[in-house]
Amino acid sequence: MQHKRGFSPGPTLLLLLSNRRREIVKKLDWGVIIMFASLFVLMQAVWDTGIVAEVARYLPSMNKGEPASYIPSILISSVLLSQVLSNVPMVTLYFPLMKYFGYEPYDIPAWVALAGGSTLAGNLTLIGAASNLIIVEEAEARGHTLSFFEFFKVGLIVTIVNVLVLYSFLIVFSNLHFIISYV
């Protein structure tokens, strides 16, 4: 059983039944947990203000239509917004926006564009994904440093190539899906 927001009682039950629960809880990175919880609260608050929906109304490429018009918009905006918000919180903000614009669960190319764009965005900069920050923090604790620019030099190439591959796949897939649905 899983709550609609992603809470699963199974791991909590396992923790409570464990003989090592105090040791496990002490090893948790509470800073990361609090950061993620705060980001999710912030994204919900931003959505609840109505600002996102109001601004998005003026972006015609967000409107549902032909995949060739909305796929680039979703990909580019998810990559760019993930650099400001980090990819997971960005998706929590973007998901209701797509529903607001009428995207349904069967609009597979749109949802894959969001999932793929936000995931690949994590490769672009250190702040593109919270996992990057965790890795850099751990590396620094062991005496290794990785600057924002060093990460970006490699991340830019990796992200561009992967986003272009994803875009090509989604355009081909959406055209095949369109053809198959009318046969």
Tokens of 21: 């629960």
Residue 119 CA, distance from chain mean position: 6
* Residue 109 domain-assigned (yes or no): yes
* Residue 61 domain-assigned (yes or no): yes
* Residue 15 domain-assigned (yes or no): no
pLDDT digits (tens, 9 = 90+) for 83-136: 888 888 888 888 888 888 888 888 888 999 999 999 999 999 988 888 888 888
Domain housing 165: 51-181
**Dihedral sign of CA atoms 53, 56, 170, 88 in order:** negative
Give the total number of structural domains in the chain. 1
* Residue 38 domain-assigned (yes or no): no
pTM of the model: 0.75
* Residue 43 domain-assigned (yes or no): no
The residue written with tokens 């609840």 in the block is: 48
